[in-house]
């Protein structure tokens, strides 16, 4: 036979349960880092440096794919004043 650790199996399970509950409560109590977004949507003409989006394709969806990304775009412009970016 072998020697059992100092804590019995039910004791270990209880300790794990208490630790899990404490971690969950700590996550719920932690302040959120997300800032509330403004409700006003403002539309304006695009800057001249931005390229237009590509034309849509008529390619079929890949077989078995859970989703299809139709369009995603990131454009960055470096200037003497800093960086300008667009994420669509």
pLDDT digits (tens, 9 = 90+) for 5-16: 555 666 778 888
| pLDDT the model gives residue 35 | 61
pTM here?
0.40
Residue 20 host element (H or E): helix 9-29
Is 70 in contact with 56 (CB distance < 8 Å)?
Answer: yes
State the average pLDDT over residues 25-48.
Answer: 73
pLDDT digits (tens, 9 = 90+) for 54-73: 888 888 888 888 887 788 88
CA distance 44 to 37: 19
């Amino acid at each position: 036979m072998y020697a059992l650790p100092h804590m019995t199996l039910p004791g270990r399970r209880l300790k794990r349960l208490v630790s899990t509950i404490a971690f969950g409560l700590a996550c719920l109590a932690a302040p959120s880092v997300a800032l509330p977004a403004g409700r006003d949507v403002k539309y304006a003409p695009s800057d001249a440096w931005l390229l237009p989006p590509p034309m849509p394709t008529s390619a079929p969806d890949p077989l078995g794919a859970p989703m299809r990304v139709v369009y995603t775009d990131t454009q960055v412009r470096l200037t003497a004043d800093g960086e300008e970016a667009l994420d669509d």
